[in-house]
Structure formats: C-alpha cells, structure tokens
A and B are shown apart, each in its own frame.
Chain A
Amino acid sequence: AVLTQSPLSLPVTLGQPASISCRSSQSLVHSDGNTHLNWLHQRPGHPPRRLIYKISNRESGVPDRFSGAGSGTDFTLEISRVEAEDVGVYYCMEGIYWRFGQGTKLEIK
C-alpha cells in the first residue's frame, strides 16, 4: 500500500486547529481484523515518536488535543488547538508492513 499525506506543509496559527489526511492505495484492514494505522511525530534531530496507534488510540502522555479517525483507506489526524511544541513533521504509518506517508511539516504561522 502507498500512503499519501496531505497537505505536505501546514502553517497554523497558535491555538487554531490542524488536520492532516492520510490516504492508502488499498485497504489497511489486516487479516487480524485490526487496522494498524499509526501517526508519528518527529522533531528535528530526534527519532519519531508514536502519537496514535490503530487509527484512534492515543499513546500514554499524548495530549487529548490529538485525535485520530478514519477507516479502510482514509485516515485523519486532528489537533484541536495547536501549541508551539506541536511543530515538526507528522507521518502516517502502516504498522504491519511499515509503510510511511511522505510526512507533513507543521509550522507556526
């Protein structure tokens, strides 16, 4: 499956919402019945950190302003109110075959 993210660049005003789309070229529903779609966040000079797993499950310590949704081939990461610490690149990732989207760079306007 090829994962296509949009937009690739996302300038956002502090306190405003942000949304990133991830579309797959084929369904990501695995034979185990789960959809292993993750969202990762990477700051410059750091390894990626998983924020969301299985579409909508937040990792421990991830603020509840982050939410994931979707099914099948279409997925979305939403940030309800962007904070300064949210800058960086966001990747969607299929967790069985380790396919990545191209990344979306979020910056503060």
Chain B
Amino acid sequence: EVQLVESGGGLVQPGGSLRLSCVDSGFTFSSYWMNWVRQAPGKGLEWVASIKVDGSEKYYMDSVRGRFSISRDNARNSLYLQMNRLRVEDTAMYYCARDSSVVGGSVWGQGTMVRVSS
C-alpha cells in the first residue's frame, strides 16, 4: 500500500519559516502531480500548491504565492513545501496528496501540524 508521510510541522512565530517534507513509500512518485492541502482547526479543506511530475510547473493559492515554495526530488520520492513569512492564519494541518482518476488513485498523508503563534 502506497503511503505518504509528512514531517516538518511545529510551532513557529509569525514571520518565521518552516520546511515541510512528504515521502512517498511507493515506486511511482515521479509519475504524479503532487499537491499540498491544508485544513485549519475546525475548518474545511483548502488547496495550497501543486507541482508537475518533473517540477516544471508550480501553482499556488493566492494567499501563499510569494511566501511558499513547492518543490520535489523524484530521486528521493520526496515533496517539499518551504514556508516563509508565516502568518497566524497559516495555522493548519498540512497534507500532501495526489489524485488520479483510477481505482486507488487517491492518496493522502496523515498530515503535519503547523502552528503560527507568538
């Protein structure tokens, strides 16, 4: 069973930085677009960023563009989210995930919690 495992979350002050990582235990990481999705406490799901299979295209939600950077290392089966100039409103559980329209094509990690507070 393919697993995505996130790490790197924690408590950080406003204006600080964190780097999230997501490791794919499967063998097909390099075949998929990958995504970061976040969920503020008690709130719904919110797409954050996406990256193409080879890293050549990257997309961001408006409120993080210019502050967050998504990247990947296909040789390490790893996805990253560099988060700079963090704000209180960035507090959320951050999930890495992928989705393809075939049976079993949706995979979500367990999430890593980011808390931005002074």
Contact = CB atoms under 8 A, between A and B. Distances in A.
B2 to A, nearest CB: 13
B101 A34 contact: yes
Nearest to B95: A47
Given A53-B101, A91-B44, A47 B106 contact: no
Interface stretch (B64-72, B79-87, B108-116): B108-116
B44 A100 contact: yes
Contact of A98 (B37, B102, B103): B37
B34 to A, nearest CB: 11
Contact of A60 (B47, B95, B101, B104): B104
A86 B53 CA distance: 34
Interface in A61-101: 89, 91, 93, 95, 97-101
A98 B47 contact: yes
Contacts of B109: 47
A36 B105 CA distance: 12
Contacts of A91: 44-45
B104 A59 contact: yes
Interface residues of A, number: 25
A101 B45 CA distance: 8
Nearest to A42: B45
B99 A100 contact: no
A19 to B, nearest CB: 20
Nearest to B108: A47
Interface in B16-70: 35, 37, 44-47, 50
Contacts of B44: 89, 91, 100-103
Interface of B: 35, 37, 44-47, 50, 95, 97, 99, 101-106, 108-111
Interface of A: 34, 36, 38, 40, 42, 47-50, 53-54, 57, 59-60, 89, 91, 93, 95, 97-103
